[in-house]
Structure 1
């Protein structure tokens, strides 16, 4: 049974499916905002929150920022993910972290099969950074198997 299809006992003794919210994280400001939004939603729903970082295969087209994040050793990526998980657990949120390898849009779409909600940063760190929607957000919005919430990056105040 995957993390996204966990169950729990209901008061009548039958198994009830536990609500699950998956958040794709990539180190962008938009992704960080998505984690906060999803944490609030998980608290409201009593849902489990899964923070998922997808490591892209070697040779992928990435921007400088995403290369910097993607170039972190697996140990470092897991460390950053664990920091987010720990901070959310301190807020009494049922959260787990997960790192998968592959194409981010395809992995997120596959994981969405067992999720009640998929939450993503709208902008991301892809090659078209700055557009209204990043490549991964567009593909997931089109093809995910559950509702998708896209969170914009935080507004920057003019200097």
Structure 2
């Protein structure tokens, strides 16, 4: 079975990753003789927003300011470092549980990119975390998990954070 777990900077997405590893891979056959080895495989996906090359000031005048190439490169480098740190953390969680993992970084709208990736990679199950947004916040901000549940080409498991956690109170 091909499992994809979408992560972001939130604790709830890492909780979803650990939940998936602990609950979906418990009976997977070992890949090393003797029963001691890694089991199963998971794809961890992270979607970063595309870089905006211009800034529109909030004041009057309507002028558009374009970022210099050095600023753009600096922001790109910071995005890459942030992505690498998140995926490194996710890979360590998988390694600790002796589960093989591959990573995927996409650029664009997380809702669309995650759904496209599930279709292109023929994923059997998508696991996403829930930030616990209320109805009003979800209506204004949108919900990646809700969108994926309705548009992904495979079954979707939405993992809610444990009761009483800081991310479930937001």
TM-score bucket (shorter structure) = 0.5 to 0.7
In structure 2, the gaps of 5 or more residues are: 29-39, 53-76
> CA 1:117–1:103 in 2, change beyond 3 Å: closer, same or farther?
same
Alpha-carbon separation, structure 2, partners of 1:33 and 1:21? 16
TM-score normalised per structure 2: 0.64
Larger radius of gyration: 2
> CA 1:150–1:48 in 2, change beyond 3 Å: closer, same or farther?
same
Displaced runs of 4+ in structure 1, greater than 6 A? none
Q: SS of 1:146's equivalent?
A: coil
TM-score normalised per structure 1: 0.68
Please tell me whether residue 95 in structure 1 is matched to residue 98 in structure 2. no
Alpha-carbon separation, structure 2, partners of 1:112 and 1:120? 12
Please tell me whether residue 48 in structure 1 is matched to residue 56 in structure 2. no
Please tell me whether residue 131 in structure 1 is matched to residue 124 in structure 2. no
In structure 1, the gaps of 5 or more residues are: 1-18, 60-70, 124-128
Shift of 1:140: 0.4
1:85-116 Cα shifts (integer Å, max 9, x gaps): 02311321111122111110111111222111
- Alignment check: 8 A CA contact 1:21 1:116 kept: yes
Let me know the Cα RMSD of the aligned residues.
2.5
- Alignment check: 8 A CA contact 2:14 2:90 kept: no
Shift of 1:81: 1.0
Aligned residues: 125
Please tell me whether residue 31 in structure 1 is matched to residue 13 in structure 2. yes
